[in-house]
Amino acid sequence: MKTIVFFNNKGGDGKTTLVYHFTYMLSELGYKCLAVDLDPQANLSSMFLSDSELERIYSQDTDRETLISGIKPLDRGIGDISSVKVQNITTNIGLLAGDLDLSLFEDKLSSNWSKCIDGDEAAFRIVSSFSRIIDKEAAAFNADYCVIDVGPNFGALNRATLIAADFVIVPMAADLFSLQGLRNLGRRLNIWKDEWRDRVLRNKAPELQLPHGQILPLGYVVMQHGIKESRPVQSYLRWANRIPNVFNEYVLGIPTNEILKVENDHNCLALLKHYHSLIPMAMEVRKPIFLLKPSDGAIGAHYQAVLRAYTDIKLLTEKILERAHS
C-alpha cells in the first residue's frame, strides 16, 4: 500500500479537486483507494458524500463517523487509537471523513512533538496516531493506495500527516504566491524529515509502529492554466517557467544553473487546463468531470471536454503510479 499526500502552503490552487479526481481515476484503473480527509475544513468529504450523508454524519454532537473517532481516546488520555468508519463511496473507493474538530487536536500534536525528544512513549503514540489509523483502515479496506488531502499550512496536524506519507505531490498555480509557497514547503519538508528521523531513534517502545517519514516528492501539478491553440499563453508561462528551478532548489535540494522550462521539466507531472463549464454539472450529479455523461448535460462541446479531461487525468495518474513504483 502506498500513501500519497497532496500539499502546498498556498491555498486556492485546486488541490482538493485534484485529490478527488485522482482518487476516482485510480478506481477507474482498477485500484482500491482510501481517500483520507485531514483538512479540518472537510471539503474533500463534502465532494464525496451526498447532502443526506453529510447531514447524517455531521449533525451528531458526539460519536461522529469521522477521523475524530479515531483519536478520541488519545485526546482524552484514556487509550490509544480507535477504529474509524470507512464511508463506502464506490466498490473501489472508501473515505475517512474529515472533521472541523481535528483542529482542536493541533495543540496536543504540537506539545507531544517536543516530548518525543525525551523518548516519551505516549508522545510517540499521539504524533503517530494518524499514520497508524490510516494503516489500520487501509488494511481493513484492502486499499492499494491512500490519497490524503490536507490544509494549506505548516501546523502540527499537517506535520503529523506528512510524516505518514510515502510520497508528496505539490499542486501549483502559476503566480508569485505559489512560488513563495513552494519555497516555504521545500524548507519545511526538509526540517520535518530531519526532526522526525532524530525522534524515531529515541523511541523506547520498538513494538510501536512508527511512520518512516520519507515524504518523497514525486513532482508538481500546475493547475488551471490558460491555453491558446493548445499551448499555454505567455502571461501564464512567465510564472510557470519559474517553477522548475524553484522546485529543484528548494524541494529536491539540487539547484541548477540551467534555466528549465515547465513544459519540458521532468518534475512537472501535468499542466491541467480549465474545465469551468463542467464543474457545475459535476457538482450537481456528484461525480468527477471525466465521468459526466450526455444524460448529465454533457453534450456537444461539453462532452468533448469530458473526453479531454479523462485523457489528461488518466495520463497524470499513470505518471504518478509509474514514479511511485520506480
**CA–CA separation, 256 vs 259, rounded Å?**
8
| Three cell numbers written together for 273 | 487546463
pTM, 2 dp: 0.93
Q: CA 190, 149, 201, 124: dihedral to nearest 10 degrees? A: 140
Whole-angstrom distance, CA of residue 229 vs CA of residue 143: 40
Give the pLDDT score at 230: 52
Q: What is the pLDDT of residue 229?
A: 45
Percent of the chain residues topping a pLDDT of 90: 76
Going by the DSSP 8-state scheme, the letter that residue 315 receives in this structure is: H
pLDDT of residue 257: 84
What confidence score (pLDDT) does residue 206 get?
87
| Model pLDDT for residues 291-311, shown as the tens digit of each residue | 999 999 899 988 999 999 999
pLDDT digits over 175-224, tens only?
A: 888 899 999 999 999 999 999 999 999 999 889 999 999 899 999 999 86
Q: What does residue 128 show for φ and ψ, rounded to 5 degrees?
A: -90, 5
R_g over Cα of the chain: 20
Segments of the chain with pLDDT less than 50: 228-229
CB within 8 Å of 278: residues ≥ 6 apart: 289, 292, 298, 302, 305, 306, 309
